[in-house]
Amino acid sequence: MQNKLKKLWKNNEGSEAIEMAFVLPVFLLFVLGIIEFGRAYWIMHSMQLSIDEAGRYAMLNTTASDTQIVSTAKGNLYGLNSNDFTVTSTSQTISGVNYKRIVATYVFSFTVPNLLPFGNLTLTRQTTVPLL
């Protein structure tokens, strides 16, 4: 009996499969997390680019309405569905200078919602430009 236990203890067949069973889920979770947060960062960058372009439009066209500025911002959301974004434009006057404040908001949901425990994230970007 002791001889059989020694043989079984020294046998290494299948150890790679067991190691893979421990490491693979952690590795896949890590890769999916990188992909998901990379996608969130890409959307934030696209939002910032679109409102910056709308701010430039507002600076060049000082008589543009808020509706025109919002449509310019939504038109610059390349590769994304502009109906999923909330874009607002408001006027402000500070120390006699007129400003336009443009804010974009998006509710980001993960592709695999039950795998990552973060729920939905609200992404917000804003810019303020002077109207001279």
Q: Is residue 2 part of a domain?
A: no
Q: Is residue 21 part of a domain?
A: yes
pLDDT digits (tens, 9 = 90+) for 54-79: 999 999 999 999 999 999 999 999 98
Q: Does 9 reside within a domain?
A: no
Two tokens, residue 66: 């808020």
Within a domain: 1: no
Indicate whether 11 pLDDT > 90: no
Count: domains in the chain: 1
What is the pLDDT, as a whole number, of residue 6? 72
Q: Is residue 105 a part of any domain in this protein?
A: yes
Distances (CA, A) of 45 to 20, 56, 90, 116: 37, 17, 21, 22
pLDDT score of 1: 65
Query: Is the model's pLDDT at 8 over the cut of 70?
Result: no
Residues 6+ apart with CB under 8 A from 113: 119
What average pLDDT does this structure show over 84-94? 95
What is the rounded distance in angstroms from the CA atom of residue 22 to the CA atom of residue 9? Answer: 20
Torsion angle defined by CA atoms of residues 13, 14, 16 and 22, in that order, rounded to the nearest 10 degrees: -150
Residue 97 lies in a domain: yes
The parent domain of residue 75 ranges over 16-131
Check residue 123 and give its pLDDT.
Answer: 96
Using alpha carbons, select from 66, 104, 111 the residue that is nearest to residue 84: 104
